[in-house]
Amino acid sequence: MQPNMIGAYGRWAANLVGDRRPPALSVRSGKWSDIEVWRRLALGRVKERIAQPATGGTPETTVRRTVEYDGLVIEELSWQLPYGPPTEALFLKPAKASGPLAGVLALHDHAGNKFFGKAKITRTGDEIHPLMQEHQQHSYGDVAWANELARRGYAVLVHDAFTFASRRVRLADLPACIKGELTDPSPDDHEGIAAYNQFAAQHEHIMARSLFSAGTTWPGVFSAEDQRALDYLASRPEVDAERLGCGGLSGGGLRTVFLAGLDHRIRAAVCVGFMSTWRDFLLNKCWAHTWMAYVPLLPRELDFPEILGLRAPLPTLVLNDSEDQLYTLPEMERADTILREVFLRAGAPEHYRASFYPGPHKFDLPMQAEAFEFFDHWLKQ
């Protein structure tokens, strides 16, 4: 066996998750001729494994401020979930919009930067935080893709995910044995923000173990919170609740896998830069990934792509970067093969597409163009 992250234990561990056979609840096993019977069983098991906490219903939302910028009306929002600090969000729509609009839940990335959330993919004025300007240049072709999508005629909601930005863990709430001498930085303290993000990366181990001890999982928490945001988006009078989509890069791609796989109100899903296999995480790349990705026991039952495949035959686009440093190309290609088979068995191979772009981890302008055209095709008809 090739060198791997756990050495001599690699082959044994890979065999535990069906390295040479489909997992127990995989539709690829051929056990289910009726895709709906399989979906009900597999979807129920995923929900059991991720153990979503109670997050209430459609959140009661406060509009804190409304601005017009670059052809858009942008509302700054907040809502309170049953736990943690208030969630802040942005709702964007064309200033001259008329009639019900298709709605898209735009999911921000991880990027090792928990101090920021929605600001990674939005702009509310000409002034942008220097760190976010650098981030958008590096990952998004120097644009705020949520704004770009809204300008095409969509209602777009972007909210801070669990442990990011307004939902981040505050150092002031932690004991000294955890935070040391660190204090919460201000937005203009770039060195302090870097120190906070370094701390937050290490705090993921503590958060994950604490969530497991509480009887839930990180995917359970963020997927439940994303569903509450989807509830709110669907409730807006400007939004056609029958035409909803979601998408995002990296951590946003991970959130897309779970939200679109679990909640079939999502008519069109675009997963960017987060598609591989459990084998890839197990043997090659878990060191490059967040604790947000992992669900105990689930790999024995479904391979990672099959979580997203729970939505088949609903339209699904996966965008990959061939030189993405977070995955190996053979396993990204294997994930594509798995999803193709799932959609074939669902009788809708034409509803799934994967594209591979040259370069490292990103959601650049050519990739955005394909994603936006995909949304147009499936949500504007």
Q: pLDDT tens across 21-80, in order?
A: 899 999 999 999 999 999 999 999 999 999 999 999 999 999 999 999 999 999 999 999
User: Can you name the residues that pair with 306 across neighbouring β-strands?
Assistant: none
DSSP for 209-225, written as a single string:
HHHHHTT--HHHHHHHH
- pTM (2 decimals)? 0.97
* Structure-block tokens of residue 230: 């989807």
Tens of pLDDT, residue by residue over 99-130, are 899 999 999 999 999 999 999 999 999 999 99
Q: Where are the beta strands (DSSP E) in 52-131?
A: 61-69, 72-79, 87-94, 101-107
pLDDT for the residue numbered 358: 98
**Other Cβ atoms within 10 Å of 29 Cβ, number:** 13
Quickly list H helices, the chain: 10-16, 35-50, 130-139, 145-151, 176-179, 190-213, 218-235, 251-262, 278-280, 304-309, 329-345, 365-379
- SS (HEC) of 174-196: CCHHHHCCCCCCCCCCHHHHHHH
Mean pLDDT of 181-203: 97
pLDDT for the residue numbered 143: 98
> Is residue 95's pLDDT more than 80?
yes
Tens of pLDDT, residue by residue over 327-377, are 999 999 999 999 999 999 999 999 999 999 999 999 999 999 999 999 999
> Cα separation of 89 and 294, whole Å?
26
pLDDT for the residue numbered 21: 84
> Cα separation of 156 and 242, whole Å?
15
pLDDT for the residue numbered 219: 98
| Average pLDDT of every residue of the chain | 96
Q: Closest Cα partner for 352 from 308, 321, 322?
A: 308
> Is residue 136's pLDDT more than 70?
yes
pLDDT for the residue numbered 164: 98
> Is residue 193's pLDDT more than 90?
yes
Q: Which of the four pLDDT bands, split at 50, 70 and 90, describes residue 291? A: very high
Q: Which of the four pLDDT bands, split at 50, 70 and 90, describes residue 19? A: low
Q: Which residue type sits at 156? A: V
pLDDT for the residue numbered 381: 72
pLDDT for the residue numbered 348: 98
Tens of pLDDT, residue by residue over 53-69, are 999 999 999 999 999 99
Tens of pLDDT, residue by residue over 232-265, are 999 999 999 999 999 999 999 999 999 999 999 9
- Domain annotation for the chain: domains and CATH numbers: 29-53+247-262+269-379 (3.40.50.1820), 61-235 (no CATH)
> Is residue 20's pLDDT more than 80?
no
Q: How many residues does the chain have?
A: 381
> Is residue 1's pLDDT more than 80?
no
